[in-house]
Amino acid sequence: MSNISQELLRIYNAEDALALHGLLAPSLQAKYPVERLRTVLTHCRVLTHDIFRLSTPSWGARSFGFFAVYTETSIFEMVLELDESEKIVHWVITDNVTSSSQQCTVDNL
């Protein structure tokens, strides 16, 4: 989980949609082609700008974790869930984890 979250941080700050696509589970790769991921990253970065660092998971298990995200503008929450192959099946950065509408998310919902 820690290796994937740190790679995600690097990819996020580089705005590298192609590399992000490579971290996704096959079901999400089909749903989020590279061009769509570029749009997602743009929406995310409007919310956060650069991410300075992530906390270690504050709660979770081997396949999912809740992180604090320290950014230029604020502190956000990140939820990251991985499949058995350590590919992303759910990812969200938010300032309101209970909201039904999220600006920065990649998931199968």
User: pLDDT tens digits for 73-103?
Assistant: 899 999 999 999 999 999 999 999 888 888 8
Residue listed under structure tokens 């941080």: 9
Q: Which two tokens stand for residue 19?
A: 């590399």
Report how far residue 20's alpha carbon sits from residue 1's, in angstroms, rounded to the nearest whole number. Answer: 15
Report how far residue 47's alpha carbon sits from residue 26's, in angstroms, rounded to the nearest whole number. Answer: 27
Report how far residue 99's alpha carbon sits from residue 17's, in angstroms, rounded to the nearest whole number. Answer: 25
What are the sequence ranges of the domains in the chain?
2-106
Backbone φ and ψ for 7, nearest 5 degrees, come out as -65, -40
Q: What is the CATH number of domain 2-106?
A: 3.10.450
State the pTM of this model.
Answer: 0.91
In angstroms and rounded to an integer, the radius of gyration of the C-alpha atoms of the chain is 12
pLDDT digits (tens, 9 = 90+) for 11-69: 999 999 999 999 999 999 999 999 999 999 999 999 999 999 999 888 777 789 999 99
Report how far residue 54's alpha carbon sits from residue 36's, in angstroms, rounded to the nearest whole number. Answer: 24
Give the HSE-up count for residue 63: Cα atoms under 13 Å, Cβ half-sphere: 8
Report how many helices (DSSP H) and strands (DSSP E) the chain contains, helices first.
4, 6
